[in-house]
Structure 1
Amino acid sequence: MAHHLMKSENEVTVITARGLGSLGLHDQIRELVAQSAGGRTDRPIYHLFCSPDPTIADNAAARVRFWALFETEFGMAGQPYCGVEHRKGGRLHEHRVYGIVRPSGTVVNLAWDYARREKCGRIVEFEFGMDAVPSKHARSIAKRLRQDRRSDVADWLVASGTLESARPVARLTPRERLIEERTGIGLDDLRRATLVAWRETEDGPAFLVALRARGLDLRQGRVGPVVVDAGGASHLATRILGAAGRRFEGERILAATVKGRLGNLQLEGMTDGRRGHHATFGDAGAPAPLDPGGPGAAGPGRVGLRRPGGDPVRPDGGGVGRDGRGPGTAMGRLRSITPARGLVLKRGLTGLDPMLARYGAAAARARHATDRIDAKAIHDQRRAWALWGRTDIWGVPLT
């Protein structure tokens, strides 16, 4: 984070920190993290920036007003922070990094933070005589403004027409922007090439050939086929084609349509970037003596475990080896082994059975725990949105 904020491509000025004793930005961020050690969160800091429109005459006043509204909205008043001012291309903007764990150990509620931050931005635009910036959250923001007794801003927002205009769609998500910066490959170029390959073909195999002719590839990812660009980065095929159709043709290609065409393809697996789902002896270092498939489990030619992945129908990524041979060839080899070799193989498989059962039970418990955590997170988000802006009879916010 500190490295990003101190990039030499900007004119950087470190701002005065609040609630921190360290001097340099790197040490200040470390101190923020250390202060948050008692909080129940794995993301103890929160980064955002304020970049007023260049036509606003008083840039500093606009930023001061935004930060005041932001801290009131999120209950951040008094929370420690550090940050920098950037001047790039004549435009001045300010980054801040807040600690979100309070001295009591409670964590600041950041539910629906995009919409809440945009509400602060709309108020600044209204008070400084600017036009309303279109937002996909415009209707929700207008509703909340009325609940906060800012009907003047809500009426201005309605009059601007942004509540009825088409919702803007960002060209890139923050994650996609980082991938584009890291690889140097334009995502729009990748989308366009993938879309052309899609439109000029009628089935999965032809689509794969068309992609490879353009220097791309198609692999089996964890949740479905992925398009692999020239730099080795993977992009979910349904997402790439859906975004390409929406951006260049005005209508999204449905995920069901993509899955229907590509569902029967036998693709090489993709794990950890460029690797397949096929287990290779020695990939993870020397196995433990009693580890299934390790030195103490069986003799030469032992049966190894394949890493789970793919989908319920193809738990090992499709069951097709690197040489393209299917399960029939493997069955033929098993039938042709000698009785003595069969006994060795049976002993090895029998020894693996208890461990496999144990692994399966552990995986089931992990899935159930994940489901419970996800359900609780969804419940907390909905509850926070429903109670946003409400107080009890003493005026204490409901959480």
Structure 2
Amino acid sequence: MILKGSQRSGGKQLAAHLLKTEDNEHVEVHELRGFMSEDLPSAFNEIHAVSKGTRAKQPFFSLSLSPPPNERVPIEVFETAIEQIEQKLGLEDQPRAVVFHEKEGRRHAHVVWSRIDTDEMKAINLPFYKMKLKDLSRELYLEHGWKIPPGIIDRKDRNPLNFSREEWQQSRRVGLSPKEIKRTFQECWAISDNCNAFSQALHSKGFVLARGDRRGFVAVDYRGETYAVARYTGVKTKEVRDRLGDQKTLPSIEQTKAKIAADMSQKLQQHLADAEATKTKRSAAFEFKRQRLVEEQRKERQLLEQSHSKRWDAETKERSQRLSKGLMGIWHRLTGKYEKTKRQNERDALVALQRDRQEKDELIFKHIQQRQQLSLRQRSEIHTHELEIELLRQDIEDYRDLKTGKSSNLKDEYRKRSELHEKERKPAPKRDKSRDRGHEPEI
């Protein structure tokens, strides 16, 4: 359980933050201890008023308790942890407020203590509270068998979210293999008998016929890669020239790349607009589902609370009827039966309270699981849309570079990386041990 605490002022703002339902799907004031008031803002006003009699500028100590996201943590675990924190920091019996928040399928708690010791009218000092909270957090993970985050074990082992575009962009290259490209060129060559027919056949496959600098006729694909027609069709240069005619009638490689870049940029801009519109639409749909789910969960919790209240009143009435009144009541007091029945009533009340808490926890765990499932689907889908948008933006930038002549030759880069990889994979030459022994110094 992650524990984060801070000394602070501003009770009015703190109460508003803890009760904010815009940022949290469910908010519950679980406990107000040591206050005359029955609501959170008024309770914090009491702390602020008492602090006026001291020199304390930060009369509040605010703490958040965040359990592991996939663990079912009942209220009793939170309460036990809060008691341990009080003892660790020296805040026993201080007025406190406990508030539970739920958001995106996760439940966490906030505790706010008064630092003002009313007997001595001074603020309680909290030395090294961050270190103490970290030690207690580690103990809670070990006690409950939760997986300890690396940052709790050692600060330098934290796992920052360092996923970057460059890491997955390195694998993006031309999709076709040389074998597939040759087959495409040969099929286009076989069904064409002149330059116009061959150009149209290549264009239908994503290639544009152009005038090469040294290779005569070349084709340029949608990524700006150039391919010698003679080489990829397997036909001699003279035969290519005889069928296709004068290459000067074709645009140059630079002109072809600029035309491809302009056409592709326009198409990709349209794809980008569609992708962003789809993301916005899906985000709105998930937000609608989230709001509807939260409303349904709030209704279920309200119904459960009403059911518990009704049952508690009925059971309380039943327990009170066990205690005799009048002369019979006096007799039962004298014989000790009254005290025995009273203790039994207290035990029954405690069992009933634990039962109600367990039922409430089960409902909350159910709601958390529902919210987690919705959040998981939302993050997965939105992440997919964001990746698509990022890729489209990167492609548009690549075509902008292609149009200005800044793009690099992907095939050459790939070949260089492949050669380097092969060199690294080659085993080191074995050492001639006999030669080494021959040079050993004589003893």
TM-score exceeds 0.5: no
Normalized against structure 1, the TM-score is what?
0.34
Report the structure number with the largest CA radius of gyration: 2
Q: Tell me which of the two structures has the higher relative contact order, counting C-alpha pairs closer than 8 angstroms and 6 or more residues apart.
A: 2
Q: More helix by proportion, 1 or 2?
A: 2
